[in-house]
Amino acid sequence: MKAKLVEKPPATGDWIYELKFDGIRLIAVKTDKKVSLLSRNQNELGARFPEIVEAVKDLPARECVIDGEVVALDEEGRSSFQLLQAREMEGRKSPVYFYAFDLLQLDGKSLVSLPLEARKNVLKKFCAQAGDPIRYSGAIGGDAERLLEEVKRRGLEGIIGKQRNSVYEPGRRSGAWIKLKCVEQQEFVVGGYTPPQGARKHFGAILVGYYENKKLVFAGKVGTGFTTKSLPMLHKKFRAEERADCPFVDLPSKQNGQWVQGITPSMMRKMHWVNSVFVCEIKFAEWTRDGKLRAPVFLGLREDKRPGDVVREG
């Protein structure tokens, strides 16, 4: 079930709010001693998170299906997609946790048509016996305005609102779940990269975009957020998917007599283009009036999203 992005908290309805995590959404499926961790696009990620597989194996049920998010936490206890990515790309040993927020099935009985509150009550009791790395993600209150202020103060990503009596609607974005963000952050598709300049090796910036009417629209150049370890690894991945032509429908283009982001026709010939297969997470200050990203920072690649599903959120 997906959450719909909204600008401000709803004025009516019976809502509960939970923390929005900055990790990878997974469905954990246990059948006897077999455990699968499935991402949104059905990738099996159990091999990436063996400690979570083991913990789910030990849960006191023969069979269960749990919806949650795998996160790595920083020193302040905040979830960080960047840390999760560094663990994968650079072999860092950040501990990971599985925050369970919904229970869809238990010992052969489907719970999806029960109200959210009832599902969460069963899940809370179920997780009480588990211990780390499985953690129950409970409601943090009902006053969205106050929660948003506190979440922003602590540098967290946002909150998720859920209607207390809502049923679980797999794959749908019905509006019974909503997300309110404090940080501008979303996924984009990588369409190319610029040559390296100065002391930097491998590449300068990546060119990212999103889909609109099945066409890849340019959103901006992202030149920060890379590390000395991630640059060569990303470069190798990109080179394996290199293509001759530009995948963006609107490059090069002019706005107010200026070439967009300084990408002139002659610069286009120096760019390296890649097939639209890589999805990355980008944090940024805001969307500019001409629809580009202001102060974007690369956080990591996402394997749990399909490129064709990436659209502009804000």
Q: State the alpha helices, DSSP H only, in 34-92.
A: 50-57, 81-90
Task: Dig out the tokens for 213 from the structure.
Answer: 């009417």
Nearest one of 88, 91, 84 to 70, comparing CA atoms:
84
20 is catalytic: yes
**Strand, coil or helix: what is 35?**
strand
Residue/partner pairs of 146-150 with CB below 8 Å, 24 or more apart: 147/17, 148/9, 148/180, 148/182
**Residue indicated by tokens 């597989």:** 53
CA 58 to chain centre: 27
**Strand, coil or helix: what is 138?**
coil
Catalytic residue of the set 20, 120, 162, 221: 20
Cβ atoms of residues 87 and 94 within 8 Å: yes
Q: Are strands 134-136 and 96-106 parallel, antiparallel or unpaired?
A: parallel
Task: Dig out the tokens for 180 from the structure.
Answer: 């309110």
Catalytic residue positions? 20
